[in-house]
A and B are shown apart, each in its own frame.
Chain A
Amino acid sequence: MGKIADKQMICEVLMEAAKEDKDIVALCSDSRGSGSFTAFAESYPEQFVEVGIAEQNLVSIAAGLAKCGKKAYAVSPACFLSTRSYEQCKVDVAYSNTNVKLIGISGGVSYGALGMSHHSAQDIAALSAIPNMRVYLPSDHLQTRELIRALLKDEKPAYIRVGRNAVDPVYEDGQVPFELDKATVVREGTNVALIACGEMVKPAKDAAELLEKEGICASVLDMYCLKPLDREAVIRAAGNARAVITVEEHAPAGGLGSMVSQTVAAVCPKKVWNLTLPDAPVITGTSGEVFDYYGLNAEGIAAKAREILA
């Protein structure tokens, strides 16, 4: 399999499941094209609900459908889904405990030059703060497939953020270690622990390879499960290393870095550096250009590791 966008993988997995399970319903807010859900809408029109540009309505309607036995997948740009519909996510989904899976597409800075209105750099913090909400940021389309297949089996709320573009996979097809709510150890190491999520796992893995050539042995942990955070994996990775670096496509407050820092500080205190987007509108550019500018790439991560270990 070549590389495809995570959102397209989600559509494929749901189409495969919808063949047998008529209770699977996908909802879009004029987002079927951007969400790669046109194929679902065309193949299963009876299981597709178009809500129009009304994200609050999208989430409430999904909750109502779920209350009546449907497995609702609400697909909408992460920026709108996570903050415009925040109260609906909190009350109608999490608090009422409805089986709604919130699929935030084009997450982080995927929309690049469209600007801050279209960026979702607060979604991990926002959604993680809601009781009974789970938060996942898969790192590639192969892990996305495993994640959605696993989530299809439960009836609890979850928020899943994926990026807009097809990115180089972290894993190889047929070799995707995956256990729900357990972080994946991408590689073991002793000098520094790199803990990343979403699209930042690949550059973290690449950084570890750069560092290896210089004799620095870095571990890489794919923390796709932000909530519930796999604290044991954090403690294991941090315990084995001199320092920890977290990497995420998110604002500095309340994301992966904050969560890892809380855990490390409480259990195995040592230095933790958080590589994040700034607490400001990001510079104009493609997501790749934005990552490069803020050092959220293999060289930036490796440079931070060298600095810490020097």
Chain B
Amino acid sequence: MNLKALAYQLRKDTVDIICAGKAGHIGGDMSVMEILVELYFKQMNISPENMGDKNRDLFIMSKGHSMEAYYAVLAEKGFLDKEEILQGFSKFGSKFIGHPNNKLPGIEMNSGSLGHGLPVCVGMAKAGKMDHRDYRVYVVMGDGELAEGSVWEGVMAAHQYGLDNLCAVVDRNRLQISGNTEDVMGHDDLHERFRSFGWHVIDVADGNDIDELDAAFEEAKTVKGKPTVLIANTVKGKGSSVMENKASWHHKVPTEAEYQTIMQDLEAAKEALEAWEK
């Protein structure tokens, strides 16, 4: 299956996980999917076989609440068992909780409290520089998350240390739990903000497009002496009109009727994309 179609298959898996666990941050799961697919199946040197390799690439899901999408990706990548996730997610005594936990294979660091991922990645990228290793470090943040001051402490330090092995991605879906990000705590010109901190900024006009993401990540690898951020303009709830661009779908479990419509929409999109050849 090509990566564009895979993103829709994994959206379907994600919705199943949410319905099985009766919980989940479905809106952000849908917006971030292509970013995760491109990273795990194209960009990053990470697999269940190389987790002991000190030269592997490193990833932190800083917007840890998009855990259901991350579970679907980790299962597809062979780190976790999908059936086990479906049976356990959010249930009493389960190891499959609603945020990343590094007791599970494939997950490097615990996250969930926003604004931690980038500063931790600064440490990881700094260690790579100290040891002259050529791994790359990737972090995915939400746009609502950027209101956390600790993000900007990390942004400052990444530039100070010249961490060109660090690539941050902002899942810019423009919605957070209370509504439009610009109404809650606006980012003004987000690109300019990062640029003013000395970062290389790449705008990904359609952050749900694998081709555009691929080009952006490739460009990031060529940047020397400074970190790169991808502002990926995504759609919250991407894949079905039931939930697209609706803040109320930040955290929501579909009803049976909604589930049927969502799954039909996702399947239709997947089938349309299966013809795509990379």
Residues of A within 8 A of B (CB): 25, 46-47, 49, 51-52, 54, 56-57, 60-70, 72, 87-88, 91-92, 95-98
Contacts and interface: CB of A to CB of B under 8 A. Distances in A.
A64 B130 CA distance: 13
Contact of B111 (A49, A61, A65, A91): A91
B36 to A, nearest CB: 20
B156 A60 contact: no
B156 A54 contact: yes
Contact of A56 (B121, B127, B150, B160): B150
B180 interface: no
A198 B150 CA distance: 32
Nearest to A64: B123
Nearest to A56: B150
B116 A57 contact: no
Contacts of B130: 25, 46-47, 70
Find the residue from A68, A91, A97 having the highest chain B CB count within 10 A. A68
Given A69-B131, A92-B119, 7 more contacts: A49-B126, A60-B123, A64-B124, A68-B123, A68-B124, A91-B116, A96-B102
A61 B122 contact: yes
Contact of A65 (B108, B124, B149): B124
Interface in B187-227: none
Contact of A92 (B116, B153, B156): B116
Nearest to A85: B150
Contact of B153 (A25, A56, A96): A56
B153 A63 contact: no
B113 interface: yes
Given A54-B153, A92-B109, A60 B116 contact: yes
Nearest to A61: B123
B119 A61 contact: yes
Contacts of A51: 157
Interface residues of B, number: 29
Contacts of B47: none
Interface string B107-140: 0111111001001111111111011000000000
A60 B121 CA distance: 8
A87 B113 CA distance: 8
A284 B41 CA distance: 61
Closest 7 CB pairs of A and B: A64-B123, A60-B119, A68-B127, A57-B153, A61-B123, A64-B124, A64-B120
Most buried by A among B109, B119, B130: B119
A56 B58 CA distance: 21
B113 A57 contact: no
B123 A54 contact: no
A25 B130 CA distance: 10
Nearest to B124: A64
B95 interface: no
30 contacts: A46-B130, A47-B130, A52-B160, A54-B153, A56-B149, A57-B157, A61-B119, A61-B120, A61-B154, A61-B157, A64-B120, A64-B126, A65-B123, A67-B123, A67-B127, A68-B124, A68-B127, A68-B131, A69-B54, A69-B127, A88-B116, A91-B110, A91-B111, A91-B116, A92-B109, A92-B116, A92-B120, A96-B110, A97-B102, A98-B109
Given A87-B113, A92-B116, A67 B156 contact: no
Contacts of B126: 49, 61, 64-65
Contact of A62 (B54, B123, B128, B156): B123
Given A52-B156, A56-B150, A57-B150, A64 B127 contact: yes
Contacts of B111: 91
B113 A91 contact: yes
Interface string B156-189: 1100100000000000000000000000000000
Contacts of A49: 126
A60 B122 contact: yes
Interface centre among A49, A60, A66, A88 (most CB of B within 10 A): A60
Contact of B119 (A47, A52, A64): A64
Contacts of A62: 123
Most buried by B among A25, A49, A67: A67
B150 A60 contact: yes
A97 B108 CA distance: 11
Residue among B102, B122, B153, B160 with most chain A CB within 10 A? B153
A60 B127 contact: no
Interface in B58-93: 58
Contacts of A91: 110-113, 116
A63 B150 contact: no
B154 A67 contact: no
B73 to A, nearest CB: 20
A68 B54 CA distance: 7
Contacts of A98: 109
A61 B161 CA distance: 12
